[in-house]
Amino acid sequence: MRLQVFLSNSGIASRRSAGATIRSGKVSVNGRVVLSPAFQVCAGKDRVFFNSRRILPRKKIYIMLNKPGGVTTTKKDPFARKTVMELLPDNLSHLNPVGRLDRDTRGLLLFSNDGEFINRFTHPSFNVEKTYALRLDRRLAHRDRRALEKGIYLEGRATAGCSIVIKEKNGLEITIHEGRKRQIKKMFAKSGYRVTELKRLRQGHVHLGALPEGKWRFLTKKEIDDAAGSDIK
């Protein structure tokens, strides 16, 4: 990984300030000062020092939060509104959210300091499935359901196929494997419906389960292993 990323993962500096720290000549790798933030280091092998102090790679951490409505998915909200980071203890403030949920959307939000893990969940090429429970302002007509499942045009591009399971009157579950911004609300708005409640239940192999709203927990080893496998679904 880039030396800059190694330093920020280790908690020495933020991603932004790590570049300046390196250029100032305070960082050495295997006994030689390195001035380039892009210098490649191997976290388990290379010996990185900052001001003559050995820097060890930080443990990789994976957690899930059951996000309540009314909190912003960001590290810092420019309008000083409540952020998801405020629901985590201070010693987890270096983690990054894996993708984002709208302010009013609730449910499963993963966090990690493992860039590869985050990429696997968020990069379109991995096609990770996501299931959401939602409520509409009225009952979904059969023909609209069929059209949505096949794919509709959204901002000039067709959505990929998805599956919809009707749960009760206006409630349903939808499974998509794309992650376009505000995709679910836009898909239903385009079809003439308003989403009145939205909650993410699953991302890949990771299910929200019975975690209470506003609470977080570490992922199990199995959840991490399955998520990192090549068959993310």
What is the contact surface with ligand URA in residues (CB under 6 A)?
Answer: 101-102, 105, 182-185, 198
Nearer to ligand URA, 183 or 191 (CB): 183
Q: Decide if 102 is catalytic.
A: yes
Name the pairing type of β-strands 153-154 and 130-136. unpaired
Nearer to ligand URA, 2 or 182 (CB): 182
Distance, CA of 78 to CA of 94 (rounded, Å): 18
Residue 225 CB, nearest distance to ligand URA (Å)? 26
Residue 231 CB, nearest distance to ligand URA (Å)? 23
Residue 23 CB, nearest distance to ligand URA (Å)? 38
**102, 114, 137, 225: the active-site residue:** 102
Q: Which residue is nearest to ligand URA (CB)?
A: 105
Residue 84, both tokens = 């998801």
CA atoms within 13 A on the CB side of 218: 6
Nearer to ligand URA, 128 or 198 (CB): 198
Residues designated catalytic:
102
